Chain A
Amino acid sequence: MSFAERMLKIDRRIIFVVIALCTLLPLLYPVGLPIKISQEVRGVYDHIESLPERSVILLSLDFDPASKPELYPQAVAILRHAFKKNLRVVAMTLWVSGTGMADELLTKVANESGKQRGADYVFLGWSPGGTAVIINMGQDLYNAFPSDYGSKPTKGQPVLEGVNSLKDVTYAVSLGAGNPGVEAWYVFGKDKYKFELGGGCTGVMAPGLYPLLRSGQINGLIGGLRGAAEYESLIGQKGRAVAGMDAQSATHVAIIVLVALCNMFYFTLRRQARQQGSQS
């Protein structure tokens, strides 16, 4: 077996070690490379920035702990921005396994911004039905969520004053790791009940949502950790995402090097095979 052949059949655990090191080392020794802001992320930021005080922003945290590394920093950045702008935040989730995490994150950022539950923000929690919940909220928010996550009746909470359904929401942002997520909020929410919608998703899903972005079905898109880092830079509060960008940079470069090496070995093998073919 030639060297190229051996390299192509390398034990995948070696690749795993390379990736682990490329992730770990930059986290331990951060470099802090500058981050360029994209138009997609600016779309969400600018819209929130343009909202008048006490406008209602709906944040649907449609992800579970699995997508926490990418979507949690996005949620933190958006919440910090919304609270800084003194907007009323209505948070919820369509993923049952994300309920506890969403509540914890909302409480943490609200406490840090000095906001009151019930007056400045509310966490509606989770309701069964997936996309059906969006339709029900479009009809009557209080019917879909008679009580919030803390079992307090939603009707009468100052944060929901003047909000009866999705039609009364000024801006909605879905941070989705799959289905139901951004697409479901467009199809069953925005298209039917006419409110402005922004999105956030994992890095893997982002290219799939570009058609929605280009056609104006969503007015901005925060894609993966990179998007979160851009948003953190925009609000001037650098956090987990910016810290993680160095690790992501190193991992991307490592994958590029691996792909280049594998192609080099592949072409070496092919040339060898051709030479052998011409000799025989």
Chain B
Amino acid sequence: MIFLRRQMPLLITMITGLIFAGQYYVPHPASEQLLTSATKWLQIIGGFALVLGVTSLFQVHAAKIRRKEAGWGYSMVLYAGMLGTMAVGWWANGKESVEGVSTAFGWVYNFMMVPLQGTMFAILAFFIASAAYRSFRARSREAAVLLIAAVIVMMGRVPLGEYLVPISGDISQWILNVLNASVRRAILIGVSLGAVALSFKIIFGVERSYLGGGKE
């Protein structure tokens, strides 16, 4: 059992890790075919994983309803929404429209999901303003530099800003193209090295805490 829980996953990780790291350097169609097969396996496993997720969701909310926890009514809404959408989805064969005519599933999509998602994204504008007002203060020299750069970019990215301060457009382009791009590259180099190092550790079994285990 310990072999199945500890050594076996590490062995699979090492073998597949090395094979697919090597695959990048092999242009032969056989290697490409291997990659395609693996991605298909991932899609299949992903599909089954969704069952795992939905089961967890059902269990958590069933427990809430059973125990009448605070906000259990929301759990009922979740059940109704999920089962209702699944039912109309099956009824409409997963299509939002058939030959230009909206199905029941399409109605749910267009008149419930689209406005709800749009609302969530629109909140971002309000939150950006409130966060900026609350936190964007020139507490130090670095913060002041950040503040000035942000104001220039905000001015330069809209017609009114360019109209009021014509040079703001060019300066904001320069900030985005030169300062922003170079700093992001620096972060990317660090992130990439970290990711490569982590990958090495995982492939060779040095890092194994992601398997849910401590030291041997």
**B158 and A245 within 8 A (CB):** yes
Do A35 and B159 have beta carbons less than 8 Å apart? yes
B interface SS class: helix
Does B42 lie within 8 Å of A262, measured CB to CB?
no
Known interface pairs A248-B158, A262-B137. Does A210 touch B181 (Cβ–Cβ under 8 Å)?
yes
What chain A residues lie within 8 Å of B51 (beta carbons)? Answer: none
**B60 within 8 A of partner (CB):** no
Specify which of A68, A103, A210, A248 lies most central, judged by the most chain B CB atoms within 10 Å of its CB: A210
The docked-state distance in angstroms from the alpha carbon of A101 to that of B121 is 16
Task: Determine the chain B residues whose CB is within 8 A of the CB of A213 once the complex forms.
Answer: 181
B176 to chain A, nearest CB (A): 6
- A69-B100 contact, Cβ under 8 Å, with A135-B35, A259-B133: no
Tell whether A255 pairs with B169 under 8 Å between CB atoms, given A139-B36, A249-B159.
no
Interface residues of B in 32-49 (CB under 8 A from A): 32-33, 35-36, 39-40, 42-43, 46-47
Contact indicator B184/A211 (Cβ below 8 Å)? yes
Q: Which of B8-16, B71-79, B124-132, B204-212 touches A?
A: B124-132
Is the CB of A27 closer than 8 A to any CB of chain B? no
For residue A60, CB closer than 8 A to chain B, the reply is: no
Q: Residue-by-residue, is B132-153 near A (CB-CB < 8 Å gives 1, otherwise 0)?
A: 1110111100000001001100
- Tell me how many residues of A have a C-beta within 8 Å of chain B: 62
Assembly CA distance A104 to B162 (angstroms): 35
- Interface size grouping (class) on chain B: 35 or more
Return B117 CB to nearest CB of chain A, in Å: 4
- Give the nearest-CB partner of B151 in chain A: A256
Residues B117 and A64 in contact, CB atoms below 8 Å apart: yes
Residue of A66, A211, A258 touching B188 (CB-CB under 8 A): A211
A residues in contact (CB < 8 Å) with B = 10, 12, 15-16, 18-20, 23, 33-36, 38-39, 64-69, 97, 99-101, 103-104, 107, 128-129, 132, 135-136, 139, 143, 203-204, 206-208, 210-211, 213-214, 226, 245-246, 248-256, 258-259, 261-263, 266-267
